[in-house]
Structure 1
């Protein structure tokens, strides 16, 4: 059995510690003993971007992604982004970008230099507030992959994203027809009701961890602002 080798660690503001490990040719980001993401199972994170863009009607969509991680969602968004579109990523752990430029550079490629995208060291909730305040333009889509879902909070303070108030703010930061897409490790009927109570039309989609229809099943909610 191949051993896991610790490459680096980083503290989550208001949370636990992330650990980047290698396992043979693969890389994994751990939260304690839990695997948050890894290069063997990235399909659902890519689907978060691809399926959202498929559902958008905006010709030049402006996307906000909560969480960079290993960049799976960000790269997938750039790959499918229509001409004139833009992607903004909010990431609170600055070491994540150091990993992207260092041990994960082969995975990252040249996407950090892509002029269509911008990665900001900030809480995604703060960027949502900026859009509401008019500091930045409204978004066509907000993609959240900062936790393992509404019941799998990674960082203290993220709970507010999934409250009725937080969902109402996300709705206000979206243009009409905009989509709030939320990745989750599992289903949550109560959260679906919260989305509907916040004024969204909700679609729940099950996606596999791997493109060959294998691996664990995860959930993506697509909540549309009418």
Structure 2
């Protein structure tokens, strides 16, 4: 078995410690004993971008907000789907995540952060959303393992009724709030509906080859 090598650690503000490992050519970001993300399993993170882009209102100048960067799978998939006039804001709270993207994982991330369509915002995505009114065509969230604050307790506010109302205000009419989760959560589906969204929960496979565990993405359209 190929051993894991610790490449770096990062403290999530008001949260837990993240650790970056390599295992051969693969990378893993772990939180305690939880494997938050792996370069071997990118399918559902890519689907978060591709399926959100498919649901965008018509127009060649969409503005997307992605929170957070992770390993960049969602960002790279969105860039591949969108035209030259699109804008993508990426909100990332942990500076080391970006250092890892530009450092040990630079070959994998392929310079996506330097794309002229991309604006990197080093801030809490909840604050970025709260500062916007009618700004985004889509908000794509993959900051926890589901609609609860796994990486930091403060993230719970994002998924509360107040947080969903804030996200709805930040979207343009007909905009999409897309939230990634490691598992289904019928109660959260009902919460989205109660917050005034038309909800389409979709199960997707973890791996890009259609294999692996099933993850969940909620596509919630503002109305």
Normalised by the length of structure 1, the TM-score is 0.96
Return the alpha-carbon distance in structure 1 between the equivalents of residues 84 and 23 of structure 2: 38
Residue 3 of structure 1, CA deviation: 0.5
Return the alpha-carbon distance in structure 2 between the equivalents of residues 151 and 105 of structure 1: 30
The answer to whether the 8 Å contact 2:2/2:23 transfers is yes
Return the alpha-carbon distance in structure 2 between the equivalents of residues 89 and 180 of structure 1: 15
Residue 110 of structure 1, CA deviation: 1.8
Q: Deviations over 1:11-70 (max 9, x none)?
A: 000111000001111000010111100110011001100000001123121000110011
Task: Work out whether 1:54 is the aligned partner of 2:51.
Answer: no
Return the alpha-carbon distance in structure 2 between the equivalents of residues 156 and 213 of structure 1: 32
Residue 152 of structure 1, CA deviation: 5.6
Task: Work out whether 1:183 is the aligned partner of 2:180.
Answer: yes
Residue 84 of structure 1, CA deviation: 1.1
* Corresponding residue to 1:201 among 194, 198, 202: 198
Q: Deviations over 1:175-215 (max 9, x none)?
A: 11100000001111111111001100000100001122211
Return the alpha-carbon distance in structure 1 between the equivalents of residues 204 and 82 of structure 2: 21
Gaps spanning 5+ residues in structure 1: where? none
The answer to whether the 8 Å contact 1:58/1:140 transfers is no
Residue 95 of structure 1, CA deviation: 0.6
Gaps spanning 5+ residues in structure 2: where? none
The answer to whether the 8 Å contact 2:148/2:155 transfers is no
- Bigger drift between 57-66 and 181-190 goes to 57-66
The answer to whether the 8 Å contact 1:64/1:88 transfers is yes
The runs of 4+ residues in structure 1 deviating greater than 3 Å are none
Normalised by the length of structure 2, the TM-score is 0.97
Return the alpha-carbon distance in structure 1 between the equivalents of residues 83 and 190 of structure 2: 32
SS at match of 1:22: strand
State the superposition RMSD in angstroms.
1.0
Counterpart of 1:222? 219
